[in-house]
Structure 1
Amino acid sequence: MTCPVLPPKPAARPDRVSLWRYLRLFRQDILSAQPARLYRAWMAEFRTPFFRSYLCNDPALIDLVLSQRPDDFPKSNRIREGLTPLLGRSVFVTNGEEWKRQRRIIDPAFEGGRLRDTFPAMWSAGQAAAARLRGGEMEVEEQMSHAAADVIFRTLFSVPIEDDMAQAVFHEFRAYQRSQPILNLAAFLPLPRWMPRLHRSKTLAAALRIRALITQMTERRAAEIAAGTAPDDLATKIMTMADPVTGVRFSTEEMVDQVAIFFLAGHETSASALAWALYLLALYPQAQERVAAEAASLPDSPDFAQMAHLKFTRDVFRETLRLYPPVPMMVRENRQTEELRGRSVAPGAQIVISPWHVQRHSRIWANPDGFDPDRWSHQETRTCARQAYLPFSSGPRVCTGAGFAMVEGPLLLAQLLRDHRFERIAGHDPVPVAHLTVRAKDGIRLRISRR
């Protein structure tokens, strides 16, 4: 199936604008601040009075930063400025030995047969999501947020989203992500550590409420572990895992940090991808019917092996992640003088790796803005994917839950499409914007009917 070119590019800004207008655009929405020329450039420089940043779309530069020499390009503290109220010192924002220690504890929870173990919980969450849908017009971003949150709570803490505490965390996260830009103003200014970080009051209040709720859940699980009554889920696995080097386990505060990022990464990103996938399938009924046909082949109580029958559905999800990567930009900082594409880059520069740009890059991908799931069966796409497909990052810092997401996404899509048909509503095409993830400016409204 070859699909025509879509019109989902963010609106291009003029190539030359004042710094303050650019900062305002960044604060409102990082995507609409980007000029069209960045979708064909290999590298671009952006200057502020306090630092320089370099957008790197060249696959060789991406490989250098993320895979070959990741220790020389740690995560930027400027990104952490906006995330600290919620994530503390989670694995998403730390660097160096602290990050390595955290990954040594977390990674084993997602290895081996853990995906097979979590499959029944994912299936149950998908059944619940399909049952919640009603006919008529519906805002699917909210529905997918609910579904993805349900998956996280069932697999992490063995409770469905209907649990009172799970519901409270879910609603607070929705408030948080709508109030928090990817970069807050402190990221652009050389503020000393003792100064306030210029967070919005709504953001701070939501972060405090979320962390209080997660602390209650974590303490409750610690008590269950001590009593020998804890379920064998991801939270128990991580909380009982000792660092093989130091023998130390996560403290309650550290576990709260990690749960916050598990929920943000596993809920926000999955919800974003699922909602955009439903929109794309509504635009292309032919593709939707192919997904529905695969879904119809699933038994009523499938096991993990049945995922092999969802090949096209998986390719739809891959293509959605290419066009609408949930995390649109990653920022690193070089520790020493570097030469990038013949340009000398001083220490402390911001090195921006943007899946949003590189996965739509006109010099890398054929039909870069077109929705074409069948491209993933072609050898040339596999080459592009090795060089310029990074919805889960790449290298040592690749997302621990990437495998989890690539089971969850196709599975939930299949369950939803098996029971329902989704149609575009004329005049309500969504506009992508970036909060903590790529979402639609005014939501994604679709018409839903039973099959």
Structure 2
Amino acid sequence: MIPPKPKSRADKVSLRQYAKLFRRDILSAQPAKLYRAWMAEFRTPFFRSYLVNQPELVKTVLKERPDDFPKSSRISEGLRPLLGESVFLTNGETWKRQRRIIDPAFEGGRLREIFPAIWAASEAAVARLAGEVGCEVEIEEHTSHAAADVIFRTLFSIPIEHEIASEVFHEFRAYQRSQPILNIAAFIPLPRWMPRFFRSDTRKSAAKIRALITQLTAERMAQIKAGDAPDDLATKIMTTVDPVTGETFSTEEMVDQVAIFFLAGHETSASALAWALYLMALFPEWQEKVASEAQAGLSNDFASISKLRISRDVFRETLRLYPPVPMMVRQNSCPERFRDRDIKVGSQIVLSPWHLHRHERLWDNPDGFDPERWGTENGKKCMREAYMPFSSGARVCTGAGFAMIEGVLILSMILQKHRVVLTDRAPPEPVAHLTVRAKDGIFLRLEKRET
């Protein structure tokens, strides 16, 4: 049984047709040949794009010479009203300074300290689902709620039920529906002085979210000055001094970072968890393995995470098939020559976890669901060379370890208490805008698991 996969377009379409397809869904706008090509060139009247799948070239861009391939400004434009100058969008020395301040908050010891907050959010998610037993539920709605709860509990020590947290969560759903990444600057080069023509609903939602985050951040600044701030991620980041410049984040800078923590930490985790639960319903034999493992070894103890090996492999396989961020775009700052092609400065270098993770020349059974692959030689080799759900190299997601703990724990805790079952609805159709989600949602029936 093959899990759902978007239909690919014909190999040749006009630029107008491609733009129309891209607006509808990034994934189905791409040709099927990308699942077997090492590199592909896309031409527009304004710039060239090169999708790179060859592991050696991916390594060059992400690991060996990351400074020569900064983040693309084209893709950044649509997200800037919400994210400002966050670590997700910046390059060069600004980005390096931001990472020096942020990274210590996500080191191994800190993850142990915030584990109780992740556990509490996971318990709350299981309790909410208990009220849905016997019903058909749209599971993405529940995973979004759970992931947002984790972010607020670990960042600001408040649950999702907190008034401001709840407002941010609901406003973000409106922001997501506005398709913010689809901005004219992604397709046409515009001078810095020219307006970006953001959709009014995108700008309005972004402004409201930033105002709410500013309120939380200012309150935390006051608590830090008064000496009574909780020892959570926000406090850690806001009090960390850059060892090079001796500076800390200002309130405005911290708002930018909180915005990306919420976007990256909530949106991506919600996507991965929803697809993981769907795959468990699609492959009930694996669901029972995860449930049995959780019932035998799960406890409110950070060390118990290491015992959840089956859940980890299931979640890892989910991230392979449905990487929340399906494509990443860099631009070359100096002339390059890839696979006997000259790459002009400023070209768009597209790295696609979606295609790399399913590449027919790299993976055994690339479209199949097989959590056992991670113990095979092919799986181990591909994990090193062709697996990057959190990016790779210097710009690897600083919250990657956090996300793996969160995803594995919530998946195990839900299946420990509940069983998810397919409904009579058509299989969900993966589409990508901000992250890989289901076009019309993922509907599952929830049953109480007898223990």
TM-score range, shorter chain: over 0.9
Aligned-pair distance for 1:184?
2.1
Unaligned runs of 5+ in 1: none
Paired with 2:155 and 2:176, the residues of 1 have a C-alpha distance of 21
1:98-147 CA-partner distances (Å, limit 9, x unpaired)? 00000000001111411101111111100100010112100000100000
Which of these residues, 100, 105, 111, is aligned with residue 104 of structure 1? 100
Q: Secondary structure at the match of 2:78?
A: helix
* Structure 2 match to 1:394: 392
Q: Secondary structure at the match of 1:446?
A: strand
* Structure 2 match to 1:30: 26
Contact 2:364 2:378 (C-alpha < 8 Å) held by counterparts? no
Which of these residues, 429, 432, 435, is aligned with residue 430 of structure 2? 432
TM-score (norm 2): 0.98
Paired with 1:381 and 1:112, the residues of 2 have a C-alpha distance of 26
Contact 2:425 2:443 (C-alpha < 8 Å) held by counterparts? no
Q: Secondary structure at the match of 1:44?
A: strand
* Structure 2 match to 1:177: 176
Q: 1:28-427 counterparts in 2 under 5 A?
A: 28-133=24-129, 134-135=132-133, 136-298=135-297, 301-427=299-425
Paired with 2:274 and 2:437, the residues of 1 have a C-alpha distance of 9
Q: Does 1:14 align with 2:13?
A: no
* Stretch of structure 1 that moved more, 398-407 or 376-385: 376-385
TM-score (norm 1): 0.98
* Stretch of structure 1 that moved more, 48-57 or 183-192: 183-192
Letter in 1 for 2:74: R
Paired with 1:261 and 1:342, the residues of 2 have a C-alpha distance of 37
Q: CA RMSD in A?
A: 0.9
1:384-411 CA-partner distances (Å, limit 9, x unpaired)? 1111000000000000000000100000
Paired with 1:437 and 1:175, the residues of 2 have a C-alpha distance of 15
Unaligned runs of 5+ in 2: none
Aligned-pair distance for 1:309?
1.4
Paired with 2:12 and 2:196, the residues of 1 have a C-alpha distance of 28
Paired with 1:307 and 1:377, the residues of 2 have a C-alpha distance of 19
Q: Secondary structure at the match of 1:192?
A: coil
1:135-188 CA-partner distances (Å, limit 9, x unpaired)? 210000010000000000000000010101000011111111121254422211
Letter in 1 for 2:214: T
- Identity of matched residues, %: 69
Paired with 2:140 and 2:184, the residues of 1 have a C-alpha distance of 27
* Structure 2 match to 1:444: 442
Paired with 2:23 and 2:201, the residues of 1 have a C-alpha distance of 15
Contact 2:315 2:407 (C-alpha < 8 Å) held by counterparts? yes
CA shift in 2, pair 1:181/1:382, >3 Å = farther
Q: Secondary structure at the match of 1:67?
A: helix
* Structure 2 match to 1:5: 2
Aligned-pair distance for 1:190?
1.5
* Stretch of structure 1 that moved more, 181-190 or 147-156: 181-190
Contact 1:5 1:371 (C-alpha < 8 Å) held by counterparts? yes
Paired with 2:427 and 2:183, the residues of 1 have a C-alpha distance of 28
* Stretch of structure 1 that moved more, 374-383 or 344-353: 374-383
Aligned-pair distance for 1:428?
3.0
Letter in 1 for 2:50: Y
Q: Secondary structure at the match of 2:211?
A: helix
Aligned-pair distance for 1:426?
2.4
Q: Secondary structure at the match of 1:113?
A: helix
Contact 1:27 1:181 (C-alpha < 8 Å) held by counterparts? no
Letter in 1 for 2:65: R
Letter in 1 for 2:279: L
Letter in 2 for 1:355: P
Paired with 1:421 and 1:249, the residues of 2 have a C-alpha distance of 46
Letter in 1 for 2:332: N
Contact 1:282 1:424 (C-alpha < 8 Å) held by counterparts? yes
1:28-73 CA-partner distances (Å, limit 9, x unpaired)? 2111101111111000000000000000000001000000000000
